[in-house]
Amino acid sequence: MNVAASAPRGWLGLHPRNLTIIGALVFLVALAALAPGFTSAKKIYFDETWYVPTARQWLANGVMLHPEHPPLAKMLIAAGMKLFGDNPFGWRAMPLAFGALTVTGVWLWTLALTSDVALALFSAAITLLDGVVFVQSRIAMLDIFIICFCVLALAAFTAGENAVTKGGALRWHLVAGCCLGLAGACKWSGWFLAFGLIALKLTIALLRVWRARFEDARTGDFYAPGAPAIGVAGGLAAYLAAPFLVYFLCYVPQLIHAHSLYEFIATHENMIAIMTGKSADHPYKSLWWTWPALWRPVWYLFDAPDKAAGGWSETGKAAAVVGLPNPFVLFAGELAILWTLYAGVIRRARAPLIVATAFFAQWLPWAVNPKGLEFYYYFYPSIVCLGPALALAAGALERPWRDAFAWATLGIAMAMFVFFLPVLVSAIGIGPAAFELRIWLPSWR
């Protein structure tokens, strides 16, 4: 990554030892923040009813259920159950670890974007408070794994774009390609980011080949020839061969169990048939263009006492978990995304363009979803781009305003996060009055 000449010294300096220690601390703090009460739901709930039994079956006899998705995320859930047992801790251990790794990945990505440890810490803190990573880290679903691998791919991609040698750039882009393959091996929607990053690389390559110049050309233009190009062979290796190889390797246990290489083709024929078929209606479905407005979040759990136990009341509280992003982080972050789009396209700044590409590449493909059934949590990979977007927006301000913006944003985000905790953590419980206070729109019910 590029190190600014005025980079701070001390513990905020960019010394490798500092970065290693801070990165480890970010992971541990994230793990500690995400863990409290994550086993409070003693029974499987929402999509855990699909993926926990799938993991059990795979551990028992090697059969992979729910073939509409690739196997990696399901195997990772099974790995947690193998290590820690078939219990709430085992079901959710790997999502929890990958949630903490996601926060660390956001820190690394923002560090690569800004070369600023303080802004990277700000971005990681916003990600902890955005509600998305918090909820998905505490339930045995597939989405936190996709989010994590995509964030790591973005960190590696950005480091590759900032590399000073061709060999260094190629190594980072190969890492990015492997992470994209792992994301795609969790759900096919993990490939969305790959298409976006490939499009961005092709755009940069074409502008360089054409020797495009603007009247106000700057050395910081995203296509400026200063950064080393990885070439056609390097591009094919990083964004075609490496992702496919990693993706294929994730199927090896399934191929061994089937005693046939054709199983790889057959399972994909089955996935295509499922993904292009029509699905039954669902009360929590939503349309992709409503997601930025936070129109229809998904309730993962609402378990109220029955009438025999006194019913739902201020003393008989319900255990509730809703996939609700932090409204302040969402709307402030979306404004920051618009700024990154402007800064990336109009001002031709590389870091904002990468963030804008990541946000839209993971959202807009849902506009052509052939299955026709979408849920708000499909938007979560894009929401995780909001922390880096806000960090870049803060970094564009003069120092006094930058600090004021960062602290005010963190303060409001923290207050909003704490306010919504009763519907994010089932162990807290919520009564009817507190519930009504947190339901801002009729569509949130």
Any idea what the Cα angle at residue 377 is, between residues 434 and 267, rounded to 5°?
Answer: 145
CA distance 275 to 270: 9
Question: What pTM does this model have?
Answer: 0.94
pLDDT band at 164 (very low <50, low <70, confident <90, very high): confident
113 neighbors 64 (Cβ within 8 angstroms): no
Name the amino acid, one letter, at 50: W
The mean pLDDT value of the chain amounts to 92
Whole-angstrom Cα distance, residue 382 to residue 340?
A: 14
Residue 44 to residue 50: CA distance in whole angstroms: 9
pLDDT tens, position by position, 320-374: 999 999 999 999 999 999 999 999 998 899 999 999 999 999 999 999 987 778 8
Helix spans in 185-304 (H): 191-209, 231-236, 242-249, 252-258, 262-275
C-alpha to C-alpha distances, 241 to 31, 195, 350, nearest whole angstrom? 34, 14, 26
Q: Give the list of residues 6+ apart from residue 261 with CB closer than 8 angstroms, or none.
A: 255
Structural tokens at position 226 = 């200063």
Distances in whole angstroms, Cα of residue 105 to Cα of each of 134, 388, 391, 413: 15, 11, 14, 20
- Asked if residues 220 and 350 have their Cβ atoms less than 8 Å apart, the reply is yes
- As a whole number of angstroms, the distance between CA 162 and CA 114 comes to 10
For tokens 């974007």, the residue is 113
Confidence of residue 6 (pLDDT cuts 50, 70, 90): very low
Q: How confident is the model at residue 5 (pLDDT cuts 50, 70, 90)?
A: very low
C-alpha span between 252 and 5 (Å, rounded): 48
DSSP H or E run through 299: strand 298-303
